[in-house]
Chain A
Amino acid sequence: MTEQFFTGNRAAAEAARLARAQVVAAYPVTPQTSTVEYISQFVNNGEMEASIIRVESEHSALSAVVGASLVGARTFTASSSQGLQLMSEVLYFASGMRVPAVMCIANRTLSMPVNIWADHQDSMVNRDSGWIQIYAANAQEVFDNILQAYKICEDEKVLLPAMVCYDGFIVSHVAERMDVLTQEQADMFLPELNGSNRPLLDPKEPLQFGEVVYPDWYPDFEYKKHKALLESRKTMEDVAREYNELFDRPYGLVENHMVEDADIVFVGLGSLTSTTQWTVNELRENGESAGLLKIRVFRPFPDKEIIEVCRNAKVVAVIDRDIGYGTAGMLFPDVTRALYPLDERPKCLNFIVGLGGKDITPETIMKIHKIAEKALRGEEVETVNWPDARIYD
């Protein structure tokens, strides 16, 4: 283990190198770009034995990854924003082909208007594409989650692709102190990819892939994919346990902070949870009863963990750095769905903040807390709130 001062993108590149990714296909898009630039340097300096396919679009990037994966290679790609949207068709193709591909997403909003800064719109609109989605709040988490993602995806019980998402610029471009595994440590954790646990394109054993499935059988395929994603949480727990035993860094599907007796529980994902955690400490010092539930794994959705924490809260403040136009944030409906079967439910509120890279500061979280407090006192408040936008009547 060596101590380094790396950006999120550098951490992602280091993780791909240590995972011994063999085929990397990517297309430049801000703020992901430097990830693949780092990998290109590794390869051209002989520090990484991989083929880089410098494709002509993101659509082709993920397509190449699927091809490489289906002859048995370990793959890596990265994207953001418009690029991820162009890739959208291929996301379903990849999960349907059950390829264990790992992709990092430096989260950025979607045009128009043009904006290159962080929010979760890009990955959130693709949340139901059959991919595992993990959100990292800092460079260390980016690194640890990518290594773990390979092990999770390649488990024959899972065989699904995974996105490791982290906020553009805030995480992708900010250098932080972090620990990087040595190659020996990484190899100990992540063995060579075993291609024999899944069907491959091989002239010695010809099989057909990507064929039509007629209506009578289609639901069965879909159910199996859904079930594999739901049950991947078991693999995630095992992989996290092993990672912790080896490297002393614990990971759960969620991470709780001061939630035990909290009346108000903030729920969020990505780098905003760091700010929220800091603010929760402040609130606690002022005698307020607040806590934070940080979602690390968004797909499969951690229903059980959310219910466990939120059932005892009075107000659940779901912070979304994205917006489902015409309804609410995209994290909010999943949280409320998970809590709905409870006989007694906490009041659930949604807060849309930080869109297009607007800074989420402790003051933003304090504003959210004020509204949540109103609800706690029984006063009427809006369900979906935009505390950091100028509201025009």
Chain B
Amino acid sequence: MTKKTKIKDLTNEEFLHYGSLSCAGCGAILTLRHALKALGPNTIVINSTGCMAVIMQMAVPKVPHFHVLFENGPAVMSGIEQALDILGKRDGTNLLVVAGDGGTADIGMGSLSGAVERGHDFIYLCYDNESYMNTGGQRSGTTPFGAATSTTPVGSVIKGENRPMEMRKDVPEIMIAHNTPYVATASIGYPLDLIDKVKKAATVRGPSYIHVFSSCPAGWRTEPRYSVKLAKLAVQTGFVILFEYENGKRTFQHLPKKRKPVREYLELQGRFKHLLGDEEAIAKMEEFVEKRLELAQG
């Protein structure tokens, strides 16, 4: 990464209107707020169905915004990109697709994979809150082990999502397998890092993919004041690894020097409450994050 953005470098201009329809502590709206500060006004936003589409009703952006269907954001953007090129109207416009984890990892996977494989020049920003929050918090392909959602409730027999941690759909790795020119992970807990990554993505020719860990107080049953704290804790406990991938190389950001115990992250969230007494499950999680951190750093 070249020059790092400092807080004093940030524009005071807001590209989203105050008083959006997001919940207090919403990570999704922060993701877009930061991304638009990085990109500026010469941007077209395509928004796959999800919380963001509803939020944007009131967050009237200062850039064109098109809420499309659940699964076709990258396909719509393919058409926009090709049309702007052939009409000679691209004019340095940033093309940004914003979607949640459901729209990305699940129903929109084909559309994303196709658009990336074809090499369209656009930025894809996934705000991952680890379930279908817009429909009330159902389990998605990125829901972590143990999380209680409305379709993986804590029952007397099965308690929360029981698919093993390592089986969770890892979209950044899928994007790396596509030879995507720029892939990064980010967290709303580290806004300057997120902004740097969005800026970098805008300079890359071809597709860029940024996966943003994005807290959801309503879905995770957490206090809104903990949203940013949780987004930091996820990184500090090793649940989320922040990295950039370009030219076949991976660099890491904000790696925990001394990893915090996962319990610190879990105990603030209602969705993991039932796990707190389960020492075996927590030990497994510690093992998982430790192993993944080691693996990531080679």
Interface residues of A (CB under 8 A from B): 22-23, 25, 49-51, 53-57, 59-61, 63-73, 75, 89-90, 93, 201-203, 205-212
B76 located at the interface, meaning its Cβ lies under 8 Å from any Cβ of chain A in the complex: yes
Interface contact B111-A63, CB-CB below 8 Å = yes
Is there an interface contact between B82 and A64, defined as CB atoms closer than 8 Å? yes
B263-297 interface code vs A (CB 8 A; 1 in, 0 out): 00000000000000000000000000000000000
* A67–B67 CA distance with the chains assembled, in angstroms: 11
Tell me which of A56, A69, A70, A89 contacts B114 (CB under 8 A): A56
A208 touches B79 (CB 8 A): no
Find out whether the CB atom of A59 lies under 8 angstroms from the CB atom of B75: yes
Contact A22 B78 (CB under 8 A): no
A51–B86 touching, CB < 8 Å: yes
- Residues on B lying within 8 angstroms of A by beta carbon are 41-44, 46-47, 53-54, 56-57, 60-69, 71-72, 74-80, 82-87, 89, 93, 110-111, 113-115, 117-118
Contact of A60 with B62 at beta-carbon distance under 8 Å, contacts A25-B78, A73-B83, A201-B80 already known: no
Q: Let me know if A60 and B114 touch, CB within 8 A.
A: yes
Known A-B contacts A53-B79, A63-B68, A67-B79; A203 and B43 likewise in contact (beta carbons under 8 Å): yes
How far apart are B47's CB and chain A's nearest CB, in angstroms?
8
Q: Contact between B76 and A63 (Cβ–Cβ < 8 Å)?
A: yes
Given contacts A55-B114, A71-B89, A201-B80, contact A63 B75 (CB under 8 A): yes
Q: What's the least CB distance linking A72 to chain B, in Å?
A: 6
Known contacts being A51-B82, A89-B69, is A56 close to B57, with CB within 8 Å? no
Known interface pairs A93-B69, A203-B64, A208-B61; 8 further A-B residue pairs with C-beta atoms within 8 A, sorted by A's residue number: A51-B86, A60-B78, A67-B79, A70-B80, A93-B72, A201-B66, A206-B64, A207-B64
B111 touches A210 (CB 8 A): no
Once the chains bind, are B76 and A57 in contact (CB under 8 Å)? Answer: no
**Which of A57, A64, A209 is in CB contact (< 8 Å) with B110?**
A57
Q: Report A46 CB to chain B, min CB distance, Å.
A: 14
Q: Give the CA-CA distance A201 to B118 in the complex, in Å.
A: 22
A258 CB, nearest partner CB in chain B, Å: 46
Asked whether, in the complex, the Cβ of B83 is within 8 Å of the Cβ of A71, the reply is yes
> Could you pull out 7 A-B pairs where Cβ atoms are within 8 angstroms?
A49-B86, A56-B113, A60-B115, A201-B66, A206-B63, A208-B64, A209-B65
Closest 8 A-B residue pairs measured CB to CB? A67-B79, A56-B114, A64-B79, A60-B75, A68-B79, A63-B75, A73-B83, A68-B83
Q: Is the CB of B83 within 8 A of A203?
A: no
Q: Which residues of A contact B65 (CB under 8 A)?
A: 206, 208-209
Q: Which residue of A lies closest to B72 (CB)?
A: A63
Q: Find the A residue at minimum CB distance from B92.
A: A203
Residue of A nearest to B117 (CB): A56
A54 to B83, CA, bound (A): 14
Taking the nearest CB of chain B, how far is it from the CB of A284, in angstroms?
Answer: 51
* Residue of B with least CB distance to A22: B86
Once the chains bind, are B87 and A67 in contact (CB under 8 Å)? Answer: no
Establish whether residues B82 and A53, one from each chain, have CB atoms under 8 Å apart when the complex forms.
yes
Known contacts A56-B111, A64-B79; A206/B61 CB under 8 A: yes
CB distance from A343 to the nearest CB of B (A): 47
List A contacts of B110 (CB < 8 A): 56-57, 59-60
> What residues of chain B lie closer than 8 Å to A51, measured between beta carbons?
82-83, 85-86
A60 nearest in chain B by CB position = B75
Cβ contact within 8 Å between A23 and B67: no
Interfacial chain A residues near B69, Cβ < 8 Å: 63, 89-90, 93
Please indicate the chain A residues that have their CB under 8 angstroms from the CB of B79 in the complex: 23, 25, 53, 63-69, 73, 75
State whether B111 touches A71 (Cβ < 8 A): no
Q: Are B75 and A67 in contact (CB under 8 A)?
A: yes
Question: How far is A60 from B46 in the complex, measured between Cα atoms in Å?
Answer: 14
Chain B residues with CB under 8 Å of A23's CB are: 79, 82-83, 86
CB distance from B279 to the nearest CB of A (A): 46
Give the chain A neighbours of B83 by CB distance below 8 A.
Answer: 22-23, 51, 67-69, 71-73, 75
A50 to B60, CA, bound (A): 34
Partner of B87, one of A53, A71, A203, A210: A71
* Chain B residues within 8 Å of A60, by CB: 72, 74-75, 78, 110-111, 114-115
Distance (whole angstroms) from the CB of A90 to the closest CB of chain B: 7
Cβ-defined partner of B64 (8 Å) among A57, A63, A202: A202
A203 to B85, CA, bound (A): 15
Q: Which of A63, A65, A68, A203 sits near B93, CB closer than 8 Å?
A: A203
Verify B75–A209 contact, CB threshold 8 A.
Answer: no
- Asked if B71 and A71 make an inter-chain contact with CB atoms under 8 angstroms apart, the answer reads no
* A68 to B54 alpha-carbon distance, docked (Å): 24
A49 and B87 alpha carbons, distance in the complex (Å): 11
Q: A56-B110, A71-B80, A73-B87 are in contact. Are A64 and B75 (CB under 8 A)?
A: yes
C-alpha gap A56/B108 in the complex (Å): 12
A206 near B62 with CB under 8 A, answer yes
Taking the closest CB of chain B, its distance from the CB of A375, in whole angstroms, is: 47
A61-B62 Cα distance, complex, nearest whole Å: 29
* Inter-subunit contact A53/B72 (CB<8 Å): no
Q: Is the CB of A93 within 8 A of B78?
A: no
A residues in contact with B118, CB < 8 Å: 53-55
Q: How far is the CB of A201 from chain B (nearest CB, A)?
A: 4
CA distance A201 to B97 in the complex (A): 14
Q: Which residues of A contact B78 (CB under 8 A)?
A: 25, 53, 55, 60, 63-64, 67
A207 CB to nearest B CB, Å: 6
A203 to B93, CA, bound (A): 8
Complex alpha-carbon distance, A55 and B80, angstroms: 14
Cβ-closest chain B residue relative to A193: B87
Report which residue of A56, A61, A93, A205 has the largest number of chain B beta carbons within 10 angstroms of its beta carbon: A56
